[in-house]
């Protein structure tokens, strides 16, 4: 009798477990477990990569802007006094 009850219980738990795993709650738990392995979620890693790319682009733009500023100053000096010789 007990064996039949256990078999019936297992047979009923399989579809219930499948429904719970496929639900939004089950997907959320799965995503959380996936992110647990490396300590960070995929979204956080993607954001970190984007920030690194943006920081490197900002550094490049700052360097280019500094170069343009120096060129502008040079041209302004030439336009102010074109006859004056510079050492």
Q: Token digits for 4?
A: 């039949």
Say whether pLDDT at 86 is over 60: no
Q: Token digits for 30?
A: 């799965």
Whether the Cβ atoms of residue 35 and residue 41 lie closer than 8 Å to each other: yes
- Please give the span between the terminal C-alpha atoms of the chain, in angstroms, as a whole number: 107
**Residues 42-79 pLDDT 10s:** 788 889 999 999 999 999 999 999 999 999 999 998 89
Q: What is the CA radius of gyration of the chain?
A: 33
Q: Give the predicted TM-score (pTM) of the model.
A: 0.46
Domain boundaries, the chain: 42-79
Give Cα separations from 55 to 50, 52, 64 (angstroms). Answer: 9, 5, 14
């Amino acid at each position: 009798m007990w064996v039949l009850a256990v078999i019936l219980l297992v047979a009923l738990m399989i579809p219930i477990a499948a429904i719970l795993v496929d639900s939004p709650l089950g997907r959320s738990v799965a995503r959380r477990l996936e992110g647990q392995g490396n300590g960070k979620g995929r979204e956080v890693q993607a954001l970190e990569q984007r920030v690194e790319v943006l920081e490197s682009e900002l550094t490049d733009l700052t360097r280019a802007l500094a170069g343009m500023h120096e060129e502008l100053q040079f041209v302004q000096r030439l336009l102010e006094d074109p006859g004056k010789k510079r050492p």
